[in-house]
Chains A and B, each alone.
Chain A
Amino acid sequence: MKTWTALGVCLLGLVATGAQAQTIYPLTRAEILAGSKFDFKVEFPGAPAQGAVKITINGQDPASVLGQSAKFVEKEDGGDHSAYWIRGAQIAKPGAYTVEASLGDKKATVQWEVFGTPERKAKNVVLFIGDGLSVAHRTAARMLSKGITEGRYNGELAMDDMPHMALVSTSGTDAIVTDSANAMSAYTTGHKSCVNALGVYCAKNKSTLDHPKVETIGELAKRRNGGMAVGVVTNSEIEDATPAGMVAHTRRRADYNDIVKMFHDVKPDVIMGGGSPNFLAKSTPGSKRTDDEDYIKKFEADGYKFVSTKQEMQAAAQAGSSKVLGLFNTSNIDGALDLKILKKGTVSKFPDQPDLVEQTKVALDVLSKNQNGFVLMVESARIDKYSHSLDSERAIYDTIMLDNAIKVAKDFAAKKEDTLIIVVGDHAHGVSIVGTYDDETPGNQLRDKLGIYADSKFPNYPAPNAEGYPEKVDVSRRLAMLFTAYPDYCETGRPYMNGENVPTVKAADGKTYVANEEYCKEPLAARRTGNLPLESNSGVHTADDLVLTAMGPGSEQFKARMENTRVFRVMATALGLGAGQ
């Protein structure tokens, strides 16, 4: 740590004196897995010629250190900078590396740590991401699915009952608050980047696909340890940021059609989620592609069993399929409250969608056939989406669903104890349990009904069913899980029984958002003046640290406060993914 502090001071000095220094990617303090692939790029402002610049790594020619030849691009993309590139670089030898890039009297220096990995400890890794999973979601899920009596919980969540815990910080290279793309990228590559970026540093390139790449754990697992199996399981669109983080390299997470191609390039053995339209040729009604590629057919040609319902998915596992592509909805798979209790959302259109728990079971069945082990990422995606839409109950039910999926993985791991299980959010939301709303409390305003301190009486949800879900959510005394940051909207203080909350609609100016008046008509609805910029249409992510829990070989590395990039390092170390094996 002392080295970094000294280096930071030195860099500050450089920034203070130079108007615009050259930028070196990977950025300083990068931790690079020995033998992992990355793109080395230096951008020189002012578009100098190649002869005017000098670059060294530990005093040597970068090409000899990185094992690939260099390319110099003057006025890259017609811009006011020149670029020095070494694509597909690798460093096999662990240690400290100092990179210097000089242009005249301007010199930029960065320091990398290349880390090796000791002997492999874990055969498998299961990484559970609760998208947006914050402390209040965990607390609320525990209250509803386990119950609480006289201040003591009547049971433990599977995610809480783990021996190791850490606080994880999620800020990116560009901002204190990040998004799911950059956050997932930190977990899957070990490098911090910026909002919207997946598997790349954010450089000056014009094309979203040209930015300097860093290798993902999906790619590493496929080419290390004799070829491990890889699984990507979510209930969002499969192209969405978190699942894409396992395979993708793009500056722009919205490049869904390119991301489908990246899934096909990496070929995870299990791919399950929603978002089928980006797999369909543009000539097919319902397609969102802009070309004539049919990716379902391409995956089938590569030996994948394509499934689109729960029944087909379970049959594929029973038939012994070793590669499964499951797309169960054109958009996101319905969340647990709609899927299991209310039957709203798209349940009538897609009546046989699996839940995350059933998906996880099948993924473990299929992946565990690979004798070289597997890396499985399972995401409960809509905790985040429902927190954006200020829909507390749906976010809580999807946290319970996540916990059920974790239970499945724990049961799997208990047989051999060779599986590292990690549970973590990717970024926080501003959510907090303030008390309980009680319909029996007198008063004609919503705030009259909010019990705080001694009046925050225990909620009266019915005892959970066998899956841990209370089957009635609109009870008379219910959790008040409130949001700290919001646009203008009308708070009803009740669950949204007819479908996900839509707090705002676009204003007439086409730029800002106003409260969705539909909810303002409800009894006791309270009009909230937003505290977010007027362009915000929903709740937002926050920079709060996350709680990570973990068990299994290698999990003892999780402790104290850690940067999110360390999650990658712990997984890579447990699996022995570094060079020199």
Chain B
Amino acid sequence: MLTRRRFSIGAVLALLSRPAKAAEWIAFDTLYKSFGVRGFEFSDRIVALKGQEVTLTGYMAPPLRAESTFFVLTREPLAICPFCQSDADWPVDIVVIHLKAETPLVSAGAKIAVSGRLEVGSSTDPDSGFVSQIRIVDASYRRV
């Protein structure tokens, strides 16, 4: 986790340099370099981009709450799961998104591009207990 101070500096720098330095585009296909049944390996590029601004395109999963700063981004639209009431049915290569500000999550099922700071490594959300491996934080999103 970045400290508040480093984050602020980062935010200012990002603002100043916005036209020149766009966020790096990443893709679901290249998050991991291997998907073994004994675990995944992050791709070298994802590890290298840790802490940097990235943009990822995917689908907003049905949100846990309507108004939230937290949702799950998936490679494909989540439609086929008749008992999809729990994270048990979610794909393993999900990316957890923490938005900058609470937003009504009206885009479930829609293709969106999420931009924010990349976090890599196992983390348990203190509020929901949700475990994730890759996160984009201080994020915003737009429909594509």
Q: Measuring CB to CB, which residues of chain A are less than 8 angstroms from any residue of chain B?
A: 179, 196, 239, 252-257, 276-278, 280, 282-290, 296, 308, 327-331, 349-350, 385, 388-389, 500, 502-508, 510, 513, 516, 537-538, 540
Contact = CB atoms under 8 A, between A and B. Distances in A.
Nearest to A277: B92
Contacts of A256: 88
Interface in B46-105: 62-63, 66, 76-83, 85-92, 105
Interface stretch (B8-16, B18-26, B30-38): B30-38
Contacts, number: 114
A506 B84 CA distance: 12
B79 to A, nearest CB: 5
Nearest to A502: B79
Contact of B106 (A280, A388, A510): A510
Interface size class of chain B, counting residues whose CB lies under 8 Å from the partner chain: 35 or more
B92 A330 contact: yes
B76 A296 contact: no
B25 to A, nearest CB: 21
Nearest to B123: A282
Contacts of B80: 385, 388-389, 500, 502, 537-538
B133 A276 contact: no
A282 B37 contact: no
A329 B91 CA distance: 12
* Residue among B42, B62, B82 having the largest count of chain A Cβ atoms under 10 Å: B82
B38 to A, nearest CB: 7
Contact of A538 (B63, B79, B108, B131): B79
Contacts of B110: 508
Contacts of A506: 62, 77-79, 108-109
17 contacts: A254-B89, A255-B88, A286-B35, A286-B40, A288-B90, A308-B37, A330-B35, A349-B35, A385-B80, A502-B80, A504-B79, A505-B79, A505-B109, A506-B79, A506-B109, A510-B63, A537-B79
Contacts of A277: 92
B35 A505 contact: no
B124 interface: yes
A254 B63 contact: no
Interface string B115-132: 000000010100001010
Interface of B: 32, 35-42, 62-63, 66, 76-83, 85-92, 105-110, 122, 124, 129, 131, 133
Chain A's interface: helix, strand, loop or mixed, by majority? loop
* Residue among B63, B83, B91, B107 having the largest count of chain A Cβ atoms under 10 Å: B83
A255 B83 CA distance: 12
Which 4 A/B pairs are nearest by Cβ-Cβ distance? A506-B109, A286-B40, A276-B37, A254-B86
Given A285-B122, A285-B133, A308 B108 contact: no
Given A506-B78, A510-B66, A285 B109 contact: no
Contacts of B133: 285-287
B64 to A, nearest CB: 11
Contacts of B91: 331
A277 B40 CA distance: 10
Nearest to A328: B37
Contacts of B85: 254
A506 B78 CA distance: 8
